[in-house]
Amino acid sequence: RVSYSESIDTPQSLANRNLSSLVRADTGGLINPITGLPADPRTDPFGISGGAFLRKAVEVGIEGKLGRNTYNLSGTYERREGAMGGKNLTGKISLTRKLTRHLTGTLALDYERVTNQTVGPGAKSETVEASTTFDYALGQKTTASLAYYFQRRHANPVHTRENVAVLTLKRTFRSW
Protein backbone atom coordinates (compact mmCIF):
# COMPACT_ATOMS: atom_id res chain seq x y z
CA ARG A 1 0.00 0.00 0.00
CA VAL A 2 1.27 3.46 -0.92
CA SER A 3 -0.49 6.77 -0.38
CA TYR A 4 0.22 10.46 -0.80
CA SER A 5 -1.87 13.18 0.76
CA GLU A 6 -1.94 16.93 1.02
CA SER A 7 -4.16 18.69 3.51
CA ILE A 8 -4.64 21.93 5.35
CA ASP A 9 -4.55 21.03 9.04
CA THR A 10 -5.49 22.84 12.23
CA PRO A 11 -4.79 22.03 15.89
CA GLN A 12 -8.23 20.37 16.09
CA SER A 13 -7.52 18.00 13.20
CA LEU A 14 -4.13 17.15 14.79
CA ALA A 15 -5.82 16.18 18.05
CA ASN A 16 -8.23 13.96 16.10
CA ARG A 17 -5.37 12.25 14.21
CA ASN A 18 -3.42 11.69 17.45
CA LEU A 19 -6.37 9.79 18.90
CA SER A 20 -5.68 6.99 16.40
CA SER A 21 -2.51 5.88 18.25
CA LEU A 22 -4.32 5.35 21.55
CA VAL A 23 -5.75 2.06 22.77
CA ARG A 24 -8.72 1.31 24.97
CA ALA A 25 -7.95 0.13 28.49
CA ASP A 26 -9.91 -2.67 30.13
CA THR A 27 -11.66 0.06 32.15
CA GLY A 28 -12.84 1.72 28.92
CA GLY A 29 -10.58 4.80 28.96
CA LEU A 30 -7.97 5.72 26.36
CA ILE A 31 -4.34 5.01 27.29
CA ASN A 32 -0.84 5.18 25.86
CA PRO A 33 -0.09 1.58 24.78
CA ILE A 34 3.53 1.79 26.00
CA THR A 35 3.16 3.31 29.47
CA GLY A 36 -0.41 2.31 30.23
CA LEU A 37 -1.06 5.86 31.45
CA PRO A 38 -3.98 8.01 30.33
CA ALA A 39 -2.93 9.56 27.03
CA ASP A 40 -3.15 13.17 25.94
CA PRO A 41 -4.30 13.37 22.29
CA ARG A 42 -3.09 16.98 22.13
CA THR A 43 0.57 15.92 22.08
CA ASP A 44 2.20 16.25 18.69
CA PRO A 45 5.86 15.92 17.68
CA PHE A 46 5.67 19.34 16.01
CA GLY A 47 4.05 21.09 18.97
CA ILE A 48 0.69 22.81 19.17
CA SER A 49 0.07 26.01 17.22
CA GLY A 50 -2.88 28.29 16.79
CA GLY A 51 -2.42 28.48 13.02
CA ALA A 52 -3.24 26.28 10.05
CA PHE A 53 -0.53 24.70 7.90
CA LEU A 54 -0.09 22.67 4.75
CA ARG A 55 0.68 19.00 5.44
CA LYS A 56 2.16 16.73 2.76
CA ALA A 57 2.62 13.06 3.60
CA VAL A 58 3.77 9.90 1.86
CA GLU A 59 2.93 6.58 3.51
CA VAL A 60 4.13 3.14 2.45
CA GLY A 61 3.44 -0.21 4.01
CA ILE A 62 3.29 -3.91 3.48
CA GLU A 63 1.69 -6.52 5.66
CA GLY A 64 1.17 -10.18 5.25
CA LYS A 65 0.98 -13.64 6.67
CA LEU A 66 3.30 -16.49 5.86
CA GLY A 67 2.67 -19.73 7.70
CA ARG A 68 2.69 -19.01 11.43
CA ASN A 69 4.24 -15.55 10.90
CA THR A 70 2.46 -12.23 10.49
CA TYR A 71 4.55 -9.23 9.51
CA ASN A 72 4.01 -5.51 9.09
CA LEU A 73 6.45 -2.98 7.66
CA SER A 74 5.50 0.68 7.26
CA GLY A 75 6.98 4.13 6.90
CA THR A 76 5.85 7.72 6.67
CA TYR A 77 7.48 10.93 5.49
CA GLU A 78 5.61 14.09 6.42
CA ARG A 79 6.43 17.71 5.66
CA ARG A 80 4.65 20.74 7.06
CA GLU A 81 4.73 24.20 5.58
CA GLY A 82 3.61 27.37 7.31
CA ALA A 83 4.02 28.71 10.82
CA MET A 84 4.37 25.14 12.12
CA GLY A 85 6.93 23.90 9.58
CA GLY A 86 9.04 20.80 9.90
CA LYS A 87 9.61 17.22 8.78
CA ASN A 88 8.73 13.88 10.32
CA LEU A 89 10.14 10.50 9.28
CA THR A 90 8.83 7.28 10.86
CA GLY A 91 9.47 3.60 10.29
CA LYS A 92 7.82 0.59 11.94
CA ILE A 93 8.38 -3.11 11.68
CA SER A 94 6.71 -5.93 13.57
CA LEU A 95 6.76 -9.70 13.43
CA THR A 96 4.25 -11.93 15.20
CA ARG A 97 4.70 -15.69 15.37
CA LYS A 98 2.37 -18.36 16.69
CA LEU A 99 4.91 -20.32 18.75
CA THR A 100 2.53 -23.00 19.99
CA ARG A 101 -1.21 -23.53 19.97
CA HIS A 102 -1.54 -21.29 23.04
CA LEU A 103 1.54 -19.02 22.83
CA THR A 104 2.09 -16.07 20.49
CA GLY A 105 5.15 -13.81 20.42
CA THR A 106 5.54 -10.35 18.89
CA LEU A 107 8.67 -8.29 18.23
CA ALA A 108 8.35 -4.65 17.16
CA LEU A 109 10.72 -1.80 16.37
CA ASP A 110 9.71 1.84 15.76
CA TYR A 111 11.86 4.81 14.70
CA GLU A 112 10.87 8.47 14.47
CA ARG A 113 12.88 11.57 13.57
CA VAL A 114 11.29 15.00 13.79
CA THR A 115 12.81 18.26 12.58
CA ASN A 116 10.79 21.18 13.90
CA GLN A 117 11.32 24.71 12.62
CA THR A 118 8.96 26.30 15.17
CA VAL A 119 11.27 25.57 18.11
CA GLY A 120 14.38 26.77 16.29
CA PRO A 121 16.35 26.17 13.11
CA GLY A 122 17.37 22.52 12.89
CA ALA A 123 15.70 21.47 16.18
CA LYS A 124 15.53 17.65 16.12
CA SER A 125 14.01 14.81 18.08
CA GLU A 126 14.91 11.17 17.53
CA THR A 127 13.02 8.29 19.14
CA VAL A 128 13.65 4.54 19.00
CA GLU A 129 11.17 2.10 20.55
CA ALA A 130 11.46 -1.66 20.79
CA SER A 131 9.02 -4.11 22.31
CA THR A 132 8.42 -7.79 22.74
CA THR A 133 5.19 -9.38 23.88
CA PHE A 134 4.20 -12.94 24.71
CA ASP A 135 0.50 -13.84 24.93
CA TYR A 136 -0.52 -17.17 26.43
CA ALA A 137 -4.11 -18.39 26.15
CA LEU A 138 -5.02 -19.93 29.51
CA GLY A 139 -8.50 -20.78 28.24
CA GLN A 140 -11.06 -19.60 25.71
CA LYS A 141 -11.70 -16.37 27.61
CA THR A 142 -8.50 -15.89 29.64
CA THR A 143 -5.12 -14.66 28.42
CA ALA A 144 -1.89 -13.89 30.26
CA SER A 145 0.54 -11.46 28.63
CA LEU A 146 4.10 -10.45 29.39
CA ALA A 147 5.47 -7.42 27.57
CA TYR A 148 8.70 -5.44 27.65
CA TYR A 149 9.03 -1.95 26.17
CA PHE A 150 12.18 0.09 25.64
CA GLN A 151 12.25 3.70 24.47
CA ARG A 152 15.20 6.02 23.82
CA ARG A 153 14.55 9.66 22.92
CA HIS A 154 17.11 12.33 22.04
CA ALA A 155 15.62 15.81 21.85
CA ASN A 156 18.01 18.57 22.86
CA PRO A 157 18.42 19.24 25.70
CA VAL A 158 16.48 16.19 26.94
CA HIS A 159 17.72 12.62 26.52
CA THR A 160 15.57 9.90 28.06
CA ARG A 161 15.44 6.12 28.30
CA GLU A 162 12.49 4.09 29.49
CA ASN A 163 12.24 0.41 30.33
CA VAL A 164 8.80 -0.97 31.13
CA ALA A 165 7.70 -4.52 31.87
CA VAL A 166 3.97 -5.26 31.97
CA LEU A 167 2.26 -8.43 33.15
CA THR A 168 -1.42 -8.62 32.24
CA LEU A 169 -4.13 -11.13 33.04
CA LYS A 170 -7.23 -10.62 30.86
CA ARG A 171 -10.59 -12.30 31.24
CA THR A 172 -13.31 -11.68 28.64
CA PHE A 173 -16.89 -11.79 29.80
CA ARG A 174 -19.95 -12.06 27.65
CA SER A 175 -20.95 -8.63 26.32
CA TRP A 176 -24.58 -7.59 26.15
Mean pLDDT of 45-56: 66
- pTM score: 0.70
Residue 125: what pLDDT?
Answer: 85
- Which one, of 113, 154, 110, 112, lies nearest residue 132 by Cα? 110
More confident residue, 72 or 21: 72
Q: How far apart are CA 149 and CA 32, in angstroms?
A: 12
Residue 148: what pLDDT?
Answer: 96
**6-10, 62-66, 128-132: least confidently modelled range:** 6-10
Residue 30: CB partners within 8 Å, gap ≥ 6?
Answer: 19, 22, 23, 24, 38, 39, 41
Residue 38: CB partners within 8 Å, gap ≥ 6?
Answer: 29, 30, 31, 32
